[in-house]
Chains A and B, each alone.
Chain A
Amino acid sequence: MKAIETEGLTKKFGRLVAVDDLNLTIEEGDTFGFLGPNGAGKTTTIKMLIGLLRPTRGTARIFGHDIFRQGEAAKKSFGFVPDFYGFYDSFTAVENLEFFATLSQIPKKEGKERIFELLKFFGLEERANSKVREFSHGMKQRLVIAQALLSRPRLLILDEPTVGLDPRAQFEIRELIKGISKNGVTTFISSHLLFEVEDMCQKVGIINQGKLIKVDSIENLKGEIRAKTGVEVRIECEEVTQEIIEAVKKIEEVLDLRVEGKIIWAKVKSSAITPTITTAIVNAAGRIKRVEEHTPSLEDIFLKLTE
C-alpha cells in the first residue's frame, strides 16, 4: 500500500516556485529521508502533505485519501512532528496530550491509557504533571513526538526532528525514531542533516530548488555515484618510491593518482581493481601497511546531486 503519493504537486508563492511538479511515492513500512538544502522546499512539501497549505497544482494522498478532499480520513492515519514545539506552555504535559488526543478523536478512557503509555515510553512519566514551559528542549521534542503517536498512526511525518537539540538529545531522538520505525510505522523524515538520514533511513529523496532530483535507496545511490565517479582507494605504504608510482600509473583502470607522503590515493573504476594495485605495489618492492576503500557517503551523493 502506498503511504504517501503525490502527483504533480506544485506550490508557487507569487513568482517563486517553492515546490515544482513533485511526484513521489512512499510505500507502507518505508523509512524515508527527505533531504535538501535550506530553502529547497522540504517544509512546504510537508505542509502540503499534511493539508496545511493548499498546492497551486497537483494532489497529495495519504493511504489513498486525498489530503484536501478527504482530509479527516487522511489525517487520522498520520502523526506530525513539526520543527518546533507547538504546545500550550501553561498546560501540563498530560493536559496538552489530553487536548491533542481529543482532537485526534481518541475516546477519553483509551486516550488516558495511551497518554501514560507514551509518557512512560518517552521517559516523561515523572514530569507528567509539570507545566510544559518548565521542560528542556529535549523533553519538549520527546513530548511532541508522543503527541504525534497518540492515535497509533500508520505514518509518522517528522520535520527536522532533532533541530536545536544537544548531541545527546539528538542521539536519543534518533534512537526513538528508529525504534518507532522498527515497530512497522512508516516514517517520513525531512532533514538537512545527512548523517541523521543515513543513520535512520533506507530510502531517500533529494529535493533542490523545489525539484525532486532523486529518489532511491541509499545503497543504490552510492552504487550510482561509484559507477559515475569511481572508487577512491587509500593505500598506506612504508615508503612510496618512484618505482611504485610508475607501477600503479601503468594500470589502465587507474583513473587518477595522487601521493600524500606515505599514502597513495588511487581513483579506480571499481573496487575490483584494488588487488591489481596492491600486487603492482608489492612487485615494485613496496610494503603495504593498510588498504582502505573510500566509498561515497550520503554527503558525497548529496553534494554531487545538488551541485
Chain B
Amino acid sequence: MIFDIMRKEIKEIRSTKRLLIIGILFTAATIGFAVYYGHFMEQGPNEMLTSNLYVITLMFVSLLALILAYDTIVGERSRGSLLLVFSKPVGKAQIFAGKFLAIFLFTGVIFLIVTSFGYWLDAAISQELPTASEVAAAYKFFFAVLLAIACWVSFAMLFSTLFKSPAISLVITLILWILVLPMISQMPFGIYLQRQGLNHDLPELGEITFPVWVKVPFAFNPDRCIAELAGRLLDFFPVGYPILTAGQSIAAMVIFIGIFFASAFLLFRRLSLE
C-alpha cells in the first residue's frame, strides 16, 4: 500500500512543472555564479565549480524538498482528494509514510543525478580523476545530504498538515527556511564573535571550542549542519565554521527529523476534515 501511495505521489510530482522550474533556476544560478566569478573575481569557471557549485546545489536541494512537500497534504485537502482517500480502508500512517518516502526518495535521486554529473564534469574539466578516498567521501556526503532532505521534507510536511491553504503553507515554509531558521542559528554565533572581539575570517576560528548556547541554535538548521558536514567530510569550509563535529551535525539532523516528522504525523493522525 505504501508503495502504491508513493507511486501515485511521484506520478503527481512529475505531472507538475515544479521540477522544471527549479531545474531552470538552478542552471541559471550556476551559470550566473560562473560568469560572476569569471569576470569579477578573477577566478575561472573551474574554480567556481569546485568552490561554489555544491553550495548552490545544497541550497536548491533544500528548496526542491520544500517545494515538493509544502502542499503534499494541504494541496490534497483543498482539492478534496484527501476526503476520498480518508474514506477508504487505508491507515493514516500508510498515507503519511507513502507521501514522505515519495518526496524524500525523489529529491534524493535528483540530487544524486545532479551531483554525480557535476562531480564527473569537474573531473573532466580539471582532467584529474578523483581518488578512491575522494569518491568515498563524496558518497558519504551524499548520505548526509539524504538526512538533510529528510529534515526539510518533515519540516514542510508539518506546515502542510497544519494549514488549510497551500499558499499559506508555502509562504510560512519558505519564510522559516530563508529567514527565521538562519537567524536563529546564526545570531548567537554572531553575538559570541562580537563579544570575543573575533573576526569572521580568522583561520583560528576552527580551533575555538564554542559554548553550548552557540552550538545548539547553530545545530537547529539542517543547512548549517550539512555545511558543517561538508567541511568535515570534504575538508572544505566555504560557508561555515567548524562549530559542530560530524557526529554532532548528524545527531542534530536526526533530532530535527524526529521533532518535525513526529509532530507532522501526530497532527496528520488527528486531522479532521471539517
Contacts and interface: CB of A to CB of B under 8 A. Distances in A.
Q: Does B associate with A?
A: yes
Interface stretch (B78-86, B124-132, B157-165): B78-86
Nearest to A144: B84
A102 B9 CA distance: 14
Contacts of B1: 102-103, 105
Given A86-B82, A90-B15, A99 B87 contact: no
Interface stretch (B41-49, B52-60, B88-96, B257-265): B88-96
B204 interface: no
B89 A53 contact: no
B16 to A, nearest CB: 8
Given A72-B91, A90-B12, A53 B84 contact: no
Interface residues of A, number: 32
A71 B79 CA distance: 24
Interface string A172-185: 00000000000000
Contact of B272 (A53, A73, A91, A95): A53
A191 to B, nearest CB: 18
Contacts of B91: 72
Residue among B15, B81, B85, B87 with most chain A CB within 10 A: B87
B81 A87 contact: yes
Nearest to B4: A102
A13 to B, nearest CB: 7
A80 B273 contact: no
A144 B81 CA distance: 11
A282 interface: no
A51 B80 contact: no
Contacts of A50: 86-87
Interface string A81-100: 01011111111000100011
B8 interface: yes
B74 to A, nearest CB: 14
B81 A52 contact: no
B11 interface: yes
B81 A54 contact: no
B274 interface: yes
B81 A51 contact: no
A87 B85 CA distance: 10
Nearest to A74: B89
A154 to B, nearest CB: 14
A89 B82 CA distance: 13
B272 A75 contact: no
B12 A86 contact: no
Contacts of B84: 80, 82, 86-87, 100, 144, 147
Contacts of A226: none
Given A75-B88, A76-B89, A90-B15, A52 B83 contact: yes
Contacts of A82: 80, 83-84, 87
B80 A53 contact: no
A86 B274 contact: no
Contacts of A76: 89
A80 B12 contact: no
A17 to B, nearest CB: 14
A103 B90 contact: yes
A82 B85 CA distance: 11
A51 B86 contact: yes
Interface in B65-118: 79-91
Interface in B7-46: 8, 11-12, 15-16
A83 to B, nearest CB: 9
Contact of B274 (A51, A53, A103): A53
A92 to B, nearest CB: 11
Contacts of B8: 88, 99
B87 A75 contact: yes
A208 to B, nearest CB: 20
A69 to B, nearest CB: 14
A86 B79 contact: yes
Residue among B11, B83, B89 with most chain A CB within 10 A: B89
Interface in A7-28: 13
A50 to B, nearest CB: 5
A32 B237 CA distance: 70
Contact of A52 (B4, B15, B90, B273): B273
A104 interface: yes
14 contacts: A47-B272, A47-B273, A52-B273, A72-B89, A82-B83, A86-B80, A86-B82, A89-B79, A91-B12, A95-B11, A100-B88, A103-B4, A104-B88, A147-B84
Given A53-B274, A80-B87, A82-B84, 20 more contacts: A44-B274, A47-B273, A51-B86, A52-B272, A54-B272, A72-B90, A73-B89, A76-B89, A80-B84, A85-B80, A86-B81, A87-B81, A88-B12, A88-B81, A90-B16, A91-B11, A91-B12, A102-B4, A104-B88, A105-B89
Interface of B: 1, 4, 8, 11-12, 15-16, 79-91, 272-274
**Leading 7 A-B pairs by shortest Cβ distance:** A86-B80, A103-B88, A90-B15, A75-B89, A80-B87, A86-B81, A86-B84
